[in-house]
Amino acid sequence: MSCRRLLVTNNPLLNNNIRCAEFVEGDSLDVLIRARNLVHSGWKLLSHPLYGNLRPYQHPYRSILLEYARQEKTQIPDIQSLDYMENALGVYSPEKSRIPSDNDMPE
């Protein structure tokens, strides 16, 4: 992908509507895991993974904006981004059974 910025989302309304987006089939936790993996490969968070005032089980969608930051292959991941992602995963993981899916949303 040639984009410097990337939106990782599971929101179907954003799928195919944003040029530099990666659609994740799954729930909010799957989006967090994908974003965390991108941080490990040189991407940096531009949005906080726990934005808003909603608990993880109150909405099925999550979108995270990242920017490619790695200049050299030996550069370590952005520590602050990694810390935010690991903390977000710590919040979401215990709530896994309560996170709604797209099927739970009213038509």
Instruction: Extract the tokens encoding 13.
Output: 């309304």
**Looking at residue 59, what DSSP letter applies?**
-
Question: What would the pLDDT profile of 1-11 be if each residue is shown by its tens digit?
Answer: 578 999 999 99
Beta-carbon count within 10 A of 2 CB: 5
Question: What would the pLDDT profile of 51-67 be if each residue is shown by its tens digit?
Answer: 777 776 678 899 999 99
CA-based radius of gyration for the chain: 14
| pLDDT score for 75 | 76
Percentage of the chain lying above the pLDDT 70 cut: 79
Give phi and psi for 90, each to the nearest 5.
-65, -30
- In tens digits, what is the pLDDT along the chain, a chain of 107 residues? 578 999 999 999 998 889 999 999 998 899 999 999 999 999 999 999 987 777 766 788 999 999 998 766 667 889 999 999 999 998 887 766 655 565 655 66
Range list of β-strands (E), 13-94: 21-23, 43-45, 63-68
- Where exactly are the structural domains of the chain? 5-104
CB 29 within 8 A of CB 35: no
Residue 7 amino acid letter: L
